[in-house]
Amino acid sequence: MLGNLFESRNVSFQSIWGSGEVWQLDTSAGQLMNTQKSLEISAFFSAVSLISDTLATLPIDAHVHRGADRVPLDPQPNWIQQPDVDMTRSGHYQQVFISLLMHGNSYTRVFRDRSGEVVNLMALDPEKMKVTRSAVGRKLYEYEDDKNLMTSDQIIHITDLVLPGKLVGTSRVEKLREALGLNLALQQYAARFFGAGASAQGVIEFPGNLTPEQAKQLADGFDSRHKNNSRRAHRTGVLSGGAKFVPTQVDPEKSQALDSRKFGVEEIARIFNIPLHMLGVPDTASYASVEQNAIQFVTHTLRPYAEKVEWAYSRLLPPNAYIKFNFNSLLRGDLESRFNAYSVATQSGFLSINDIHAFEDMRPVDGGDIYRVPLANINLPDAKLVGEQMMYDIVSKLVQAGYQPDDILSTFNLPAIPHSGVPSVQLQPVSQIDPEAPTTVYEE
């Protein structure tokens, strides 16, 4: 009774879908818009495919923090490389990202064995999920007609944009239905115009009076020769008896239909934060700006989605362990940039030869685990010898300049070394040194 009293329900497009109703929203452009209709827009389909395919095909690494060190997780659970036993890894994550991009929510069912280990992960249809909150504030999930409520221990719920006080994320299709409806209307208009032939709309003016049968015969004859087939678009038309065809449809160029379609693609690019040239918009990128646009795409478009999935799925791992999408593979297509990056990494000392071989799926080589430092590009264990050599050079120069050797050694925290007492020949010629009192050359 108390549970029913304090239980709150989320009423949104998810609950409408889950109830079995047909969800679609009318738009000012006269188009009914839902998630399935949105995929009929070529730019929308391309944007969803671009983001989901790019993220789903990235390699995934698993690590664990042990103090200040980060080491690979060993052994790795099988679900990391194959979350769904009946689907490829990229296929599973693609469903997750598509759900986020289109519905604003992703739901993954977690299956465990008797010992509590994760054995399978299955992406669920967000249109069939209802989300409520229990009396103690925990989210409860009801899928399709299954009345057994599930908790966050059984469901991985990832959201896109969540408004304050809401239980689920916001759907782009729902909130931006007007912009998508206009795009779909323009796309259908262009298809009808080119499919109709030479004249999609117009009237035939005749100087005299025609009977209804004659008017119908004239119109049907003209339409049968020129409309409903793009192959008839350029056939020559002949009107006799003073008849004249007057188009009543506005020319697509004059009505800015082509510019509107281009603007529609740009609008979808803004919806998903995608650089324009990646959706095929002409004259939107130069050779110099492509690299910066790619960096922006990774930073502002891909990284937020990847981080949300990483955090949510890492909860299935032991404490201090986590998964991470490896964005280094995005350089795989650019051989020169990849090798230049490897060169900088080895010279800076944070990648070894065998580290690079592992990235390139090459066999390790003997001695390839040694890290190098920028100084003369030597092995890391030998860097101490180089530092000592430099210090001894400084000590030698100070002695040659006339400073007391004992004072110099103590300044550099070096052990005392017996000295012959004979000054350097650079200070005093040998012929002028008193063999019985060689230190007199130091005296004023």
> What tokens does 27 get?
């738009």
What does the pLDDT read at residue 49? 93
What does the pLDDT read at residue 376? 60
What does the pLDDT read at residue 199? 47
| CA distance linking residue 292 with residue 370, whole number of Å | 34
Query: Which amino acid, one-letter code, is at 305?
Result: Y
What does the pLDDT read at residue 420? 61
Residue 354's CB is within 10 A of a number of other CB atoms, namely 17
> What tokens does 374 get?
């920028």
Cβ atoms 348, 93 nearer than 8 A: no
Residues of the chain with pLDDT under 70: 1-30, 189-206, 208, 210, 214, 218, 221-243, 245-260, 283-289, 329, 331-335, 361, 374-383, 419-433, 435, 438-444
φ/ψ of residue 39, rounded to 5:
-75, -10
pTM: 0.65
Query: Which amino acid, one-letter code, is at 63?
Result: H
What does the pLDDT read at residue 187? 73
Cα distances (Å, whole numbers) of residue 224 to 149, 250, 379:
61, 22, 83
Cβ atoms 359, 328 nearer than 8 A: yes
What does the pLDDT read at residue 52? 94
Cβ atoms 184, 29 nearer than 8 A: yes
What does the pLDDT read at residue 56? 94
What does the pLDDT read at residue 264? 78
The residue among 123, 72, 69, 64 whose CA lies nearest residue 318 is: 64
| CA distance linking residue 421 with residue 417, whole number of Å | 11
* 3 state DSSP class of 266: helix
Using one digit for the tens of pLDDT, what is the confidence trace for 232-253?
A: 555 555 565 666 766 655 555 5
What does the pLDDT read at residue 200? 47
| CA distance linking residue 320 with residue 71, whole number of Å | 11
Using one digit for the tens of pLDDT, what is the confidence trace for 260-295?
A: 677 778 888 888 888 888 887 776 666 556 777 777
> What tokens does 14 get?
């998810």
